[in-house]
Amino acid sequence: MFKGKNVLVMVTGSIAAYKATTLVRLLIKSGAQVRVGMTTSAQEFITSKTLSILSGQDVLTDLFIGHTSQVIHIEWARWADVIFVVPATANIIGKIANGIADDAVSATIIASSADKVIAPAMNDVMFHNPAVERNLEILKQDGWLVVEPVVGYLAEGYEASGRLPEPIDILQQADIRLRAKKGQLIGKKVVITAGGTKEALDPVRYLTNRSSGKMGYALARAAVEKGAEVKLVTTIDRENIFGVEKIIVSSTQEMFDVATHEFTDADIFIGAAAVSDFKPAKLAEHKIKKQADGGLQLTLVQNPDILKTIGFSKKDHQIVVGFAAETKEVIAYGTDKLVKKHADMLITNDVSNSDTGFSSDDNAVTILVPDQLPEALPKTTKIEIARAIITRIITLK
């Protein structure tokens, strides 16, 4: 999102000002060109020299120093594609909400039509002051993206809301929400399954597979980036993704119960989980002991088929997408599953390659849609594959 973008980071006077250094580093690492502005009070907490060295640019601290021919705040305001105000004090929030432009930071902000992100950080009583709440409401109405503070240890020595989120989380949230502003899935609910189901043998052992959940998480992220409400039904508890509700399950039966329930009012279902077709016929009450003959006979019975059940229950407006993990004749087996599971789209991936499919950060897939030619997506990161799949799903109806 920020790659190639001109990003202005405005730092104001909070104890959390030091976190702006990490934000600047992360933005530069992601490929953005970064400039920094600081209020006078921000410079009480961190020096402009630090941020100047990190950004490789002079830091804007004063409207009238060092510049002759250019109106500096107008030039910077025009240059910016995105402005971050991190951390934001009650003072700067009040100024922006009320159109006050009496220093370099507020004057630049008011002169810019860039996308704007603000992350308040202050004492909890200040944060809940009616004037601050009112001003933040105005900023939201004016199109500002407000990254809410989190509950945590404040400088005052107690736990409360008002703490600045970690810079990586601010960036992730800003990235998702800025993309979602123009998303074609606003107002749509997407249910996604991820991870390998676990079928318990006894209280300590289970049968499962090598799925890491990465493909499902990438799809969840790609769907929220398009503005969807996303429910991720997953056996693996990986990173939190802003806007994605994780529902952690374990067995196929649990995944089946949650996924079919969530699908009733959903618009799209994507089955990226590696679901176990079988489960032990009986769950041992106690840990299974070694047998006298050294072996163990297991009887397995069939699990419900989540994708097939959802595929055959879908209504006209609902889209159902499955995956097929194959090791040979990928297209033929995938086409067979597309039909048998009554899906609108099936994504095949060859899981015999160690650098794609299970657990890896990359994948290479072929998209199958009834009556259309297969569409191969060559090897790339799972998030890029997921974005391409979501874009393709949007074209289905």
Report the residue number, 25 or 238, with the smaller CB distance to ligand PMT. Answer: 238
Q: Does 307 bind ligand PMT (CB under 6 A)?
A: yes
- 209 has catalytic annotation: yes
Given the residues 6, 123, 129, 209, select the one marked as catalytic: 209
Question: Minimum CB separation from ligand PMT for residue 379, in Å?
Answer: 13
Q: Does 323 bind ligand PMT (CB under 6 A)?
A: yes
Report the residue number, 118 or 365, with the smaller CB distance to ligand PMT. Answer: 365
Q: Does 384 bind ligand PMT (CB under 6 A)?
A: no
Among 249, 272, 389, 393, binds ligand PMT (CB under 6 A): 272
Question: Minimum CB separation from ligand PMT for residue 110, in Å?
Answer: 45
- How far apart (Å, rounded) are the C-alpha atoms in residues 362 and 383? 8
Q: Is 368 helix (H, G, I), strand (E, B) or coil?
A: strand
Q: Does 273 bind ligand PMT (CB under 6 A)?
A: yes
Question: Minimum CB separation from ligand PMT for residue 88, in Å?
Answer: 37
- How far apart (Å, rounded) are the C-alpha atoms in residues 30 and 19? 17
Evaluate the omega torsion of the peptide bond into residue 149 and state whether it is cis, within 30 degrees of 0.
no
Q: Does 55 bind ligand PMT (CB under 6 A)?
A: no
Q: Tell me which stretch binds ligand PMT (CB under 6 A): 8-16, 83-91, 131-139, 352-360.
A: 352-360
Report the residue number, 167 or 322, with the smaller CB distance to ligand PMT. Answer: 322
What strands, in cross-sheet order, belong to the sheet with 362-368?
Answer: 244-248, 229-234, 189-194, 268-271, 319-326, 345-350, 362-368, 375-381
Report the residue number, 127 or 206, with the smaller CB distance to ligand PMT. Answer: 206
Among 104, 337, 338, 389, binds ligand PMT (CB under 6 A): 337
Task: Report, in angstroms and rounded to the nearest whole number, the Rg of the chain calculated over CA atoms.
Answer: 26
Q: Is 8 helix (H, G, I), strand (E, B) or coil?
A: strand
How far is CA 377 from its chain centroid?
A: 22
Q: Does 269 bind ligand PMT (CB under 6 A)?
A: no
Q: Hey, what are 167's tokens? A: 């810079």
- How far apart (Å, rounded) are the C-alpha atoms in residues 40 and 317? 55
Report the residue number, 94 or 304, with the smaller CB distance to ligand PMT. Answer: 304
Q: Is 338 helix (H, G, I), strand (E, B) or coil?
A: helix
- How far apart (Å, rounded) are the C-alpha atoms in residues 125 and 131? 11
Report the residue number, 59 or 275, with the smaller CB distance to ligand PMT. Answer: 275
Q: Is 319 helix (H, G, I), strand (E, B) or coil?
A: strand
Question: How many amino acids of this chain bind ligand PMT (CB under 6 A)?
Answer: 27
Among 23, 322, 335, 366, binds ligand PMT (CB under 6 A): 322
Q: Does 305 bind ligand PMT (CB under 6 A)?
A: yes
CB pairs under 8 A, 24+ apart, for 136-141? 136/93, 136/97, 138/97, 138/98, 139/93, 139/96, 139/97
Q: Does 311 bind ligand PMT (CB under 6 A)?
A: no
Give the per-residue contact string, 239-258, with ligand PMT (x = CB under 6 A; - = no).
Answer: -------------x------
Q: Hey, what are 384's tokens? A: 């890029």
Q: Tell me which stretch binds ligand PMT (CB under 6 A): 29-37, 161-169, 220-228, 317-325.
A: 317-325
* Burial (CB count <10 Å: 0-12, 13-18, 19+), residue 28: middle
Pairing, β 300-302 against β 278-280:
antiparallel
Q: Which of residues 182-241 bind ligand PMT (CB under 6 A)?
A: 193, 211-215
Report the residue number, 117 or 367, with the smaller CB distance to ligand PMT. Answer: 367
Question: Minimum CB separation from ligand PMT for residue 299, in Å?
Answer: 18
| Residue found by looking up tokens 């950080």 in the block | 121
Q: Does 271 bind ligand PMT (CB under 6 A)?
A: yes
DSSP string, 207-241: E--S--SHHHHHHHHHHHHTT-EEEEEESS-----
Q: Is 143 helix (H, G, I), strand (E, B) or coil?
A: coil
Question: Minimum CB separation from ligand PMT for residue 390, in Å?
Answer: 14
Q: Does 112 bind ligand PMT (CB under 6 A)?
A: no
Return the active site residues: 209
For ligand PMT, the binding residues (CB under 6 A) are 193, 211-215, 252, 271-275, 277, 303, 305-307, 322-325, 337, 349, 351, 357-359
